[in-house]
C-alpha cells in the first residue's frame, strides 16, 4: 500500500525525484499548493474510493498520516 501510494502521490503532484518518504511533511514540498490539495483529494477518491473532508485532512501532517487515514476508512 505504502509504495503504491507514494507512486500515486508523486504522480499527482508531478514530483519526479525520490524526495517523498513516509515521514515527508507534504505541506513543506515546493509542489504543494491549493491545486495540489484538490488533486490529492481527487486521487484518493478515485483510487481508494475514500473521501477525506477538509477538516479531517487538516490534521494529517506526513504522507504516512494520509495512508493511515485511508486505511482507517
Partner 1 sequence: MSYNPFSLKGKNVLVTGASSGIGRATAIECSRLGAKLIITGRNSERLEETLSLMEDEAHSMVVADLSYSEGLNLLVNALPQLDGVVHSAGVLKRLPLKFVTEENLAELMQINFIIPALLTRHLYKKKILSTDASIVFISSVASSFASLGNIMYMASKGALNSFMKGVALELASSGIRANAIQPGMVKTHLTVLISDSEIEKDIDCYPLGRYGKPEEIACAVVYLLSDATKWMTGTLLTIDGGLTLR
The site for partner 1 (CB under 8 A) is made up of: 34-35, 38-39, 41-43, 46, 51, 53-55, 57-58
Smaller CB separation from partner 1, 8 or 22: 8
Smaller CB separation from partner 1, 35 or 71: 35
Contact between 63 and 5 (Cβ < 8 Å): yes
Query: In the bound complex, what is the minimum distance in angstroms from residue 36's beta carbon to partner 1?
Result: 9
**Residue 23, number of CB atoms within 10 A of its CB:** 10
Please, where are the H alpha helices in 1-73?
Answer: 2-13, 34-48, 54-57, 63-72
Query: In the bound complex, what is the minimum distance in angstroms from residue 45's beta carbon to partner 1?
Result: 8
Amino acid at each position: 500500500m505504502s509504495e503504491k501510494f507514494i507512486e500515486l502521490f508523486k504522480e499527482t503532484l508531478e514530483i519526479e525525484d525520490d524526495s517523498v518518504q513516509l515521514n515527508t511533511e507534504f505541506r513543506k514540498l515546493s509542489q504543494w499548493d491549493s491545486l495540489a490539495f484538490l488533486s490529492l483529494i481527487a486521487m484518493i477518491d478515485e483510487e481508494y474510493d475514500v473521501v477525506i473532508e477538509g477538516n479531517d485532512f487538516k490534521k494529517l501532517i506526513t504522507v504516512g498520516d494520509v495512508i493511515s487515514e485511508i486505511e482507517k476508512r
